[in-house]
Amino acid sequence: MLSKYVFVVFFSLIIYGCKTKNSEEKKVETSTTTKQIDSIHISNEMSRLEIDEGIFVFYDSNLCRIINKQIPNEADIYLNEVLIAKLNPYLPDSFYIRYSEGMSGDPWFGVFRKDNDTVDYLGGSNGLNLTVLRNGRLFISGHTNNYFNTRKLFEVTHDTLKEIEQPFYYVGIRSRLNKDASLLSDIDNGQVIMSLPKGTMCDILLNKDEDYYLVKTEMNVVGWIKNDNDYERPTIDDIRYAGD
C-alpha cells in the first residue's frame, strides 16, 4: 500500500514538473516575441554600422541594404549615403538615408526618395544615432543642436518625414541647480509648490515646450522648473545647448 502511494506521489511530481517547465518555456517565448515586436531599444539582433566617429546606425539587414558611400558635394562637407530601405509598407518606394557632419560639426540624418535622376528631400533631424525600426519608422537620438539627448520618432509618408508627436521628451539625468528656482505645479500659470535654492540636486525627468522640465527633488516632490537657457550658467547645470 505504501509503495503504491509513493508511486502516485512520484508520478504526480513528474507531471507537475513537466507542466511547469512547459509553462516557463512559453513565458520566455512570449516575452522574447513581445520584446522583438514592441521594443524600440537597440537589440542584439540588429546590425550596427559606425559611419563616423561616435555616429551609429542600427538596422535590420532584412529591411535595409547598406551603401555607406561618400557623396561629393559643392559645400565640400562629409556627406554619406548610408543605406536604402523600405520605410513605408504601403508605398512602393524605397528611401535613402544620408548622414552629414554639417558645416560646423552638426551631425544630421536626412531621408530622400529617388525617382530616376530626381532626388527629393523629405526631411531630416540632427542626431548621433539612428535606428531603422522593423515597422519602417526611424528613431533618432543624440545631444546635438539641442539642450539634452533628445529622442525622436519619425515616420515616412510619400513626400515627407513626419515626427510622431510625444506628450513629453524623456530626459533622465541627475543635475544640480545653478540658480534659485521655483518648483511649479504646471507650466501654464502654475502655483509655486516650493522654492529650491542654488545647489539643489534634482532628477530631471521630462521636458515640455523646450524650456520646462519636470523634476523630482531629493524629498521626492515633483514639479516643473523653467530653465534659463544661458549657456554659461543655465538654471539646470546639465541642460545646455550643444551646437551653434
* Cβ(97)–Cβ(131) below 8 Å: no
- Position 23 scores a pLDDT of 40
- Position 28 scores a pLDDT of 31
Residue that is written with C-alpha cell 546606425 in the block: 57
What pLDDT band is residue 14 in, cutting at 50, 70 and 90?
Answer: very low
- Position 116 scores a pLDDT of 77
- Position 155 scores a pLDDT of 96
From 34-43, 105-114, 206-215, the region with the lowest mean pLDDT: 34-43
Give the closest residue to 102 by CA, choosing from 132, 131, 127, 120.
127
* Cβ(244)–Cβ(219) below 8 Å: no
- Position 117 scores a pLDDT of 79
- Position 46 scores a pLDDT of 87
From 4-13, 75-84, 135-144, 201-210, the region with the lowest mean pLDDT: 4-13
Is residue 32's pLDDT more than 50?
Answer: no
What separation, in Å, do the N-terminal and C-terminal C-alpha atoms of the chain show? 87
User: Hey, what's the cell of 51?
Assistant: 559611419
- Position 44 scores a pLDDT of 57
List residues bridging with 85 in a β-sheet. 64, 95
Predicted confidence (pLDDT) per residue in 39-81, tens digit: 344 455 789 999 888 899 999 998 899 999 998 877 778 889 9
What pLDDT band is residue 84 in, cutting at 50, 70 and 90?
Answer: very high
The one-character DSSP state at 236 is B
User: Mean pLDDT, to the nearest integer, of 138-157?
Assistant: 95
User: Hey, what's the cell of 236?
Assistant: 539646470
Predicted confidence (pLDDT) per residue in 86-109, tens digit: 898 888 888 999 999 887 788 999
- Position 67 scores a pLDDT of 95
Is residue 26's pLDDT more than 60?
Answer: no
- Position 115 scores a pLDDT of 78
- Mapped onto helix, strand or coil, the DSSP state of residue 3 is helix
Where is 17: in which H helix or E strand?
A: helix 2-38
- Cα distances (Å, whole numbers) of residue 68 to 33, 123, 140, 187: 31, 19, 18, 44
**Looking at domain 169-226, which CATH architecture does it have?**
Roll (2.30)
- Position 186 scores a pLDDT of 96
Torsional sign, CA 144, 150, 153, 157: negative
User: Mean pLDDT, to the nearest integer, of 235-241?
Assistant: 95
Cite the beta strand spans of the chain per DSSP E: 47-52, 55-59, 64-70, 79-85, 95-100, 108-115, 118-126, 129-132, 138-142, 150-156, 161-163, 169-176, 181-184, 192-196, 201-208, 212-217, 222-226
On average, the pLDDT of the chain sits at 83
Task: Indicate where the chain has its CATH 2.30.30.40 domain(s).
Answer: 169-226
- Supply the pTM of this predicted model: 0.79
